[in-house]
Amino acid sequence: MANTSPSPSPSSEGRILQFPPFQSLVDDGFWRRLSALKLDTLRTDQSPIFISGFYAPCSHSSVSNYLALHSESLPSDSNMESPLERVRGNRNKCPIPGTLLNTNTLESFRSLDRESLLKAEAKRILEDIYSGRAEEDPSVLLRFLIISFADLKKWGFYYWCAFPALVLDPPATLLNLKPASEALNSDEVVSLSAACNEWRNSSVTTDVPFFLVSISPNSGAILRPLKDWELCKDEGQKVLFGFYDPCHLPTNPGWPLRNFLAFISLRWNVEKINFFCYREKQGTADMRLSLVGEALVSPPSAWRDPECIPKAVGWEPKGGKLMPRFVSLAESMDPERLAVSAA
């Protein structure tokens, strides 16, 4: 790992804060639903479709979580016209807004201007940060994009997901990163763990992936929604910026922190950010897997310009290369093949 990475070794102070790419899992049901939509409703219409992806905090120390697309990610026939209706999630499926661009031909899929698409999404994220919308509905910080071409003659699907991240220039500097169980005192660990479980067990907050942790001088921790920032700040308590971390690595925070750092520094002008990567084991808070870190962030001055098109990254790599994925459902969807295998 070290010899392919341009950064200094992980142990050194003040290294560049690095994030492993977010990953997608698009299931069989998504493609079946898209095929039905395409055949029955969309036909040749190539307009963007508003969809929902789902993710959850990492819950096993050996595998990262991913953003999943299921059949219910796509609109049902009845709600094609009201895409803004918030999809109901649960603790294991926090809904994230996304956009699907499904093209009619492989050529138009190929010729999509992916850089512009990514920048346009990043621009929307920046706007949501400025407007305060991200404070009300933090899931917009994880806005994603999927482009696809559905070859319904061969039941093959070409697709490519992007998780747009605003690029900080210079990149954030990592000052500290430790398991929460080491970074906090034992009273704080117990209190924070209980506060996280309470947040996760409440149907109101369970699928809200970004939050504030305020820790009082007597080590009592509570979790609060982002819109409580002004209150937290004025109370003079220790504040950690928390998020549901899909990543399992003990050495790095997950991708969602990227836009969260941009949000915190732009919206609230905080430069030295104490963040909290919330992770679980067997569905409950685990303070040895969760991380607490400290990063120095300075947002590019260009972002202050309302007309700014921010630099962004986020097209999902496949096997180390930036290229689309392909899945064939011919065996399970092609009526001819099904007839043959049933005979």
Site for other proteins in 136-155 (CB under 8 A): 155
- CA–CA gap between residue 104 and residue 295 (Å, rounded): 44
C-beta of residue 181 within 8 angstroms of C-beta of residue 189 = yes
- Cα distances from 289 to residues 8, 196, 247, 292, in angstroms, run 24, 13, 10, 10
Q: Which stretch binds other proteins (CB under 8 A): 16-24, 133-141, 214-222, 228-236?
A: 16-24
C-beta of residue 292 within 8 angstroms of C-beta of residue 239 = no
Q: Rounded to the nearest whole angstrom, what is the least distance from the CB of residue 67 to other proteins in the complex?
A: 10
Interaction with other proteins in 160-179: which residues (CB under 8 A)? 165, 167-168, 171-172
Question: Residue 156 interacts with other proteins (CB under 8 A)?
Answer: yes
Question: Residue 82 interacts with other proteins (CB under 8 A)?
Answer: no
C-beta of residue 149 within 8 angstroms of C-beta of residue 103 = yes
Q: Which stretch binds other proteins (CB under 8 A): 84-92, 175-183, 222-230, 267-275?
A: 84-92
- CA–CA gap between residue 296 and residue 258 (Å, rounded): 12
Interaction with other proteins in 107-136: which residues (CB under 8 A)? 110, 114-115
Q: Which stretch binds other proteins (CB under 8 A): 4-12, 120-128, 225-233, 269-277?
A: 4-12
Question: Residue 300 interacts with other proteins (CB under 8 A)?
Answer: no
Structure tokens at 290: 């969760």
Nearer to other proteins, 232 or 313 (CB): 313
Q: Which amino acid is at 153?
A: K
- CA–CA gap between residue 55 and residue 247 (Å, rounded): 11
Q: Which stretch binds other proteins (CB under 8 A): 40-48, 120-128, 184-192, 276-284?
A: 276-284
Q: How many other CB atoms are found less than 10 A from the CB of residue 304? A: 10
- CA–CA gap between residue 112 and residue 177 (Å, rounded): 39
Question: Residue 309 interacts with other proteins (CB under 8 A)?
Answer: no
Q: Are strands 67-69 and 24-26 parallel, antiparallel or unpaired?
A: parallel
Question: Residue 86 interacts with other proteins (CB under 8 A)?
Answer: no
Interaction with other proteins in 181-240: which residues (CB under 8 A)? 200-201
Question: Residue 104 interacts with other proteins (CB under 8 A)?
Answer: no
Question: Residue 14 interacts with other proteins (CB under 8 A)?
Answer: no
Q: Crossing angle of helices 257-268/114-131, nearest 10°?
A: 40
Position among 45, 46, 60, 309 found at the interface with other proteins (CB under 8 A): 60
Position among 42, 50, 71, 294 found at the interface with other proteins (CB under 8 A): 71
Interaction with other proteins in 26-45: which residues (CB under 8 A)? 27-29, 32-33
Interaction with other proteins in 253-272: which residues (CB under 8 A)? 258
- CA–CA gap between residue 261 and residue 124 (Å, rounded): 16
Q: Are strands 156-166 and 210-215 parallel, antiparallel or unpaired?
A: unpaired
C-beta of residue 168 within 8 angstroms of C-beta of residue 261 = yes
Q: Which stretch binds other proteins (CB under 8 A): 55-63, 97-105, 188-196, 215-223?
A: 55-63
Question: Residue 302 interacts with other proteins (CB under 8 A)?
Answer: no
Question: Residue 1 interacts with other proteins (CB under 8 A)?
Answer: yes
Question: Residue 335 interacts with other proteins (CB under 8 A)?
Answer: no
Q: Rounded to the nearest whole angstrom, what is the least distance from the CB of residue 23 to other proteins in the complex?
A: 6
Question: Residue 250 interacts with other proteins (CB under 8 A)?
Answer: no
- CA–CA gap between residue 243 and residue 31 (Å, rounded): 30
- CA–CA gap between residue 111 and residue 103 (Å, rounded): 10
Nearer to other proteins, 52 or 59 (CB): 59
